[in-house]
Amino acid sequence: MYLCKLIMRKVVNILVCVVALIASGCTFSDGDGRRDNVDNVVARVDRKCLMRDDVVRDMPAGLTGVDSATFVRMYVDNWVLNQLKMRRAEQVLSSYEDDIERLVEDYRQSLIMRQLDQYYIDNAIDVEITDKQLSAYYRANAASFKLDHNIVRGVIVKAPRTFRNTTTLSTALKGVVKSDNTEEVAAIVEKHNLLMTDLTPQWVSYSDFLSNLPTERSRSYADLLDKDGVQQMTSDDATFYFIIVDVVRKGSIAPLESVENDIRRRLYAERRAEIVGDYEAELKREAVEAGRVSLKDTVLLKAMRYRKEEITADTEVREATENIDEMDLE
């Protein structure tokens, strides 16, 4: 560790020695603590100076030897280019200065407000999403979960062309449809050193299912979805035995388990939006009540005084209906 630090210091010191003669033209702001430390100057552009402390501060930990030297050169080169571009911008974009300042301030405010939103979210978010909440959201938004492609669950077993225990394997594969359990198939696969692709635990697109089979690009294979029982395909050196346990067709509502992660993301996003909306409304209400806000628009001013707890009869009826729906799910 000591050797690494020593190498890094030497690299920086070499650069400092090269540019030390240009340091006399640099200016420093009062209170930066570095006015008299001219030896720390690494580079200068006009009257702007890059200090050695800045380079060392931004250097990634663990860099040694050639890597540290390369980082310093790139850092200094980028800094010089940035200063030159800023100076040129001042010259050619002077008429846009007010617009640029406004954009910079807008961006600064957006960053601050984003951090404020995140502060409230971190202190109030409930990350737990229950099965009951998943089911309720699924039922209420079923139309948004229509499939634009076929999805399936199934099992594929790859066996050598010389494999002879096909009856035993076929019987085990058929049993998966009844029991939704692939243990018997897995035992046969292990015993005969076969290869199994188990796609029963989760729904997959039909195209993904077919990608495990020796299919031809010019054929659709949609007809296979209409067939029951064990099917097979052959390649030059193997036979693929497969069974489609379940199918949900394009245009149908996707099964809950296939969209569960999507629903969790949606619910989490809704909770984030609700938290931000609540604290924003509270900010406005408090400010109006304290007389900090004045508007000619009396309707808007009245709306800003709105409390979340002040619900209407219509809201109560809607919530009562939702409670009944949730009870049906239990």
pLDDT score, position 196: 97
| 3-state secondary structure (DSSP) of residue 166 | helix
Burial 35-59 (b: 16+ CB within 10 A, else e): eeeeebbbbbbeebbbbbeebeeeb
Burial 109-143 (b: 16+ CB within 10 A, else e): eeeeeeeebeebbeeeeeeebeeeebbbbbeeeee
pLDDT score, position 136: 96
- Separation in Å, CA 141 to CA 146, 254, 315: 10, 11, 20
Q: Tens place of pLDDT for every residue, the chain, 330 residues?
A: 444 454 455 544 544 444 443 444 465 443 444 444 667 888 999 888 999 889 989 888 887 778 888 888 899 999 999 999 988 988 888 788 788 889 999 999 999 999 999 999 999 999 999 999 999 999 999 999 999 999 999 999 999 999 999 999 999 999 999 999 999 999 999 999 999 999 999 999 999 999 999 999 889 999 999 998 999 999 999 999 999 999 999 999 999 999 999 999 999 999 999 999 999 999 999 999 999 888 888 888 888 888 776 654 455 445 544 544 444 444
Burial 173-201 (b: 16+ CB within 10 A, else e): bebbbeeeebebbbebbeeeebebebbbe
Looking at the DSSP assignment, which residues form a beta bridge with residue 246?
153
HSE value, Cβ hemisphere, 13 Å, CA-based, for 36? 0
pLDDT score, position 13: 52
Tokens for 38, please give them: 């001219």
Looking at the DSSP assignment, which residues form a beta bridge with residue 198?
155
Q: How many whole angstroms separate alpha carbon 144 and alpha carbon 141? A: 6
Give the chain's length.
330
pLDDT score, position 313: 46
Tokens for 283, please give them: 């900010």
Query: pTM higher than 0.75, yes or no?
Result: no
pLDDT score, position 69: 85
DSSP labels, 188-243: HHHHTT-EEEEEEEEEEEHHHHHTTS---TT---GGGGG--S-EEEE-SSEEEEEE
Q: How many whole angstroms separate alpha carbon 27 and alpha carbon 48? A: 7
Torsion of CA 294, 298, 303, 309, to 10 degrees: 90
The 8 Å CB, 24+ separation contacts for 82-86 are 83/45, 83/46, 83/48, 84/45
